[in-house]
Amino acid sequence: MPDLSNEKSHADGKILQHTAGGVGVITFNNPDKRNAMSLEMWEGFGEALTDLRDDDAVRVVILRGAGGKAFVSGADISQFEKTRHNAAASEEYGKRSAAQRALLADYPKPTIACIEGFCLGGGMQVAMLADIRLAAHGSQFGIPAAKLGIAYGYDGLKHLVSLVGPSWARLLMYTGMRIDATEALRIGLVERVFPVDQLWGETMGIAQTISENAPLAIKAAKLTIAQVLKDESGRDMDAIKAVGTACMDSADFREGRQAFMEKRKPKFQGR
């Protein structure tokens, strides 16, 4: 279990945040509702993301759900009657939650979704915005928008199509079906699947490895991969060049070379 001595809480405790070494952890904590996301939780999630983004000691962020039954079961449907009952209300709702998702989409540090249980609707959107998805056997994935009469929106579908291709995206969206972790792995929706009792240890292991690697090299990879996914006309080749130059001129590159020659573990500082 994680050390929770530095835990911070947002949205009345429904979003929790803590750090362990260079790893930041955000927990969706509304297990009675399978971690369904209320607007307050979206806002708390944004606060936690901002806090960990601005903490220089944090080099990678894990997102997880509390309770063992769900990562996030989607938006909180019980709020829809009040906040999302027609196009105008839905647009306002969309803006408030989209602002927090934009933080994750443009996050400067690597992010990992650690998925145990249901990952549905808006939960899939969060998971797909993370850089990497790791899941427990038995987890269930789906976007039941067609069962609710909701349009899923451009950003969510863009990520879905880029991960699983247009045909699987259509099958998932037209049927609203749920698939299990084995199938999610096969179609490229998640990168790795572990037995449930190993998921957290494996996730922390990967996060710790990332947190010990050279931050500028990771930043260069993250930025460049994001640019690869853009249309050529919107690609910022200057930004790719700048981050590459920063890396090759960095003290960390010197340290990486020296540590290799001296057969010791490098100690990177992100500059």
Q: Where are the beta strands (DSSP E) in the chain?
A: 8-10, 15-20, 23-28, 60-65, 70-72, 111-115, 118-120, 132-136, 140-142, 178-180, 192-194
CB of 2 or CB of 94, closer to ligand COA: 94
Paired sense of beta strands 118-120 and 23-28, if any:
unpaired
Q: State the residue for tokens 């494996």.
A: 202
Judged by beta carbon, residue 79 or residue 208, the one nearer ligand COA is: 79
Residue count at the site for ligand COA (CB under 6 A)? 17
Among 2, 51, 53, 77, binds ligand COA (CB under 6 A): 77
Biggest alpha carbon–alpha carbon distance for the chain? 65
In angstroms, give the least distance from the CB of 149 to ligand COA.
10
For ligand COA, the closer of residues 76 and 116 by Cβ is 76
Least separation in angstroms between CB 118 and ligand COA? 4
Distances (CA, A) of 180 to 61, 109, 118, 137, 185: 25, 29, 9, 8, 9
Q: Is 33 a binder of ligand COA (CB under 6 A)?
A: yes
Mask for 83-122, x = binds ligand COA (CB under 6 A): -----------------------------------x-xxx
| Token pair listed for 238 | 């200057």
Asked if residues 132 and 206 have their Cβ atoms less than 8 Å apart, the reply is yes
- What is the enclosing helix (H) or strand (E) of 215? helix 215-228
- Check residue 64 for interaction with ligand COA (CB under 6 A): no
112 and 58 in contact (C-beta within 8 Å)?
no
CB 42 to ligand COA: min, Å: 12
**Site stretch for ligand COA (CB under 6 A), options 66-74, 90-98, 246-254, 257-265:** 66-74
Measured from the CB atom, the residue of 125 and 211 that comes closer to ligand COA is: 125
Q: Which of 22, 46, 144, 156 binds ligand COA (CB under 6 A)?
A: 144
Which of 19, 29, 73, 250 lies at the binding interface for ligand COA (CB under 6 A)? 73
Rounded distance between C-alpha atoms, residue 135 and residue 203, angstroms: 9
Residues that bind ligand COA (CB under 6 A): 33-34, 36, 69, 73-78, 118, 120-122, 144, 148, 150
